[in-house]
Amino acid sequence: MVRFLIRLVINLATAALALWITSLVLPENFSISISALLIAAVIFAVLQAILAPFIFNMARKYASFLLGGVGLVSTLLALLITSLLVEGLVITGLSGWIVGTLVVWLITAIGGWILGLIFLKKKAAAE
């Protein structure tokens, strides 16, 4: 149960960090208000948790050649749905969607990996 909660906090933190950094990297095409950041991070993290396994299973079943892009596709879909649900998240233009997806995916992947190593390794050592 503790591992689950640690993973949940890591996912929420990396989602918020990714959305914020992406808004700094792409100020003209990707913007998020401070008030919407927490709500958008929660919605995005939940959508990622739901969409990634679903897209992985669909790709494995129907288009195995797409398995490498599952993370990018789930990130794009999660961003699309989150932007529709959260008023303070605005993504415009093709570059906003493409580069924004890449930056968010990269930050959540690297951040989740690094934070997972740090916090889950400490938890495993304590057990």
For residue 107 the two structure tokens come to: 């930050």
40 C-beta neighbours (distance < 10 Å), count: 24
Beta strands in the chain (DSSP E): 30-32, 89-91
Selected residue with higher pLDDT from 2 and 5? 5
Mention every residue, 6+ apart, whose C-beta is less than 8 A from residue 120: 3, 6, 7
Digit-coded pLDDT (tens) for 106-121: 999 999 889 888 887 7
Digit-coded pLDDT (tens) for 60-107: 888 777 777 888 999 999 999 999 999 999 999 999 999 999 999 999
Q: pTM for the complete prediction?
A: 0.87
Looking at the DSSP assignment, which residues form a beta bridge with residue 90?
Answer: 31
Looking at the DSSP assignment, which residues form a beta bridge with residue 9?
Answer: none
Q: Which structural domain, as residue segments, surrounds residue 122?
A: 2-126
Total of domains in the chain: 1
Mean pLDDT across 54-59: 86
